[in-house]
Amino acid sequence: MENSHLHFNTSIGVKKPENIRNKDQACPFCERDQLTDLIAVDGPIILLKNKYPVLENAFQTVLIETDDCHADISTYSNEYLHRLIRFGLKYWLEMEQSGRYRSVIFFKNHGPLSGGTLAHPHMQIIGLHDIDYKEKVSQDMFEGIVIAEEEGVRLTLSTKPRVGFYEFNVEMKDSGYELRFSDYMQIAVHYILNHFPFKTTSYNVFFHHVEDKIYAKIVSRFVTTPLYIGYGIPQVPNNLQWMAGEVRNIYFNRM
């Protein structure tokens, strides 16, 4: 039988620590000598089994990005950014190629409206045994106004956003790592957190591997609109051209 919904185990869910709002909760990812079930380590970057596997029929891992609890994609040095994203892409694609899962998702939550529970910078790689995320992917969710394009890597602002409002997309071929891929991703995150026309503290990054391309969709998060919750209708703002120009001005110094 086809499974369209991912089952969430509520008895594990209630035990999960939360410290984005609850500042008194100690950070479990800072206590590095307490971490167990490590899968791979590259200095401060650690991939390990999720201690709170709330999803059924799934293999959940956590990628701890750094030992700095207050860092973020927007603040990493160039060198560190590439080391981290290379590491993440490698283990994500390895899980995909293992053939053990129907599909493998790789994503990041940041900030109180992102759906995340721990503030320490981390990402998640999750093998899904009976759901193929690619069935819900359409090509047009990655299309948009081109902000920058170099060496086959492209940064766009969605004209057909998946959920609505502002979604940046970065794409590259899956044949090899391109430095620009992570550079553009960092620019999108930095823009959202520092130059957005509305105050925002939250974003997600969702990686997709579709056909021969790798995409990162960087989504600024606000309270989700009722039109999307109730009717699944995404809204497109009328200032996308302006915003694309702003990003070009700030980060690429050209119009």
Give the whole-angstrom CA distance, residue 81 versus residue 70.
Answer: 15
CA 72, 78, 84, 85 torsion-angle sign: positive
Query: Least separation, in Å, of the C-beta of 73 and Zn ion?
Result: 15
Q: Of the candidates 220, 31, 188, 26, which has an alpha carbon nearest to the alpha carbon of residue 110? A: 220
Among 8, 16, 22, 69, binds Zn ion (CB under 5 A): 69
Residue with tokens 């529970």: 117
Binding footprint of Zn ion, residue count (CB under 5 A): 5
Angle at 65 between CA 61 and CA 66, to 5 degrees: 135
CB–CB of 235/166 below 8 Å? Answer: no
Query: Least separation, in Å, of the C-beta of 117 and Zn ion?
Result: 12
Query: Least separation, in Å, of the C-beta of 36 and Zn ion?
Result: 16
Give the whole-angstrom CA distance, residue 129 versus residue 47.
Answer: 20
- What mask, x for binding Zn ion by CB under 5 A, covers residues 20 to 59? -------x-xx-----------------------------
**Which of positions 111-130 make contact with Zn ion (CB under 5 A)?**
120
Residue range at the interface with Zn ion (CB under 5 A); choices 68-76, 82-90, 145-153, 223-231: 68-76
| Contact flag: residue 229 with Zn ion (CB under 5 A) | no
Query: Least separation, in Å, of the C-beta of 68 and Zn ion?
Result: 8
Q: Which residues bind Zn ion (CB under 5 A)?
A: 27, 29-30, 69, 120
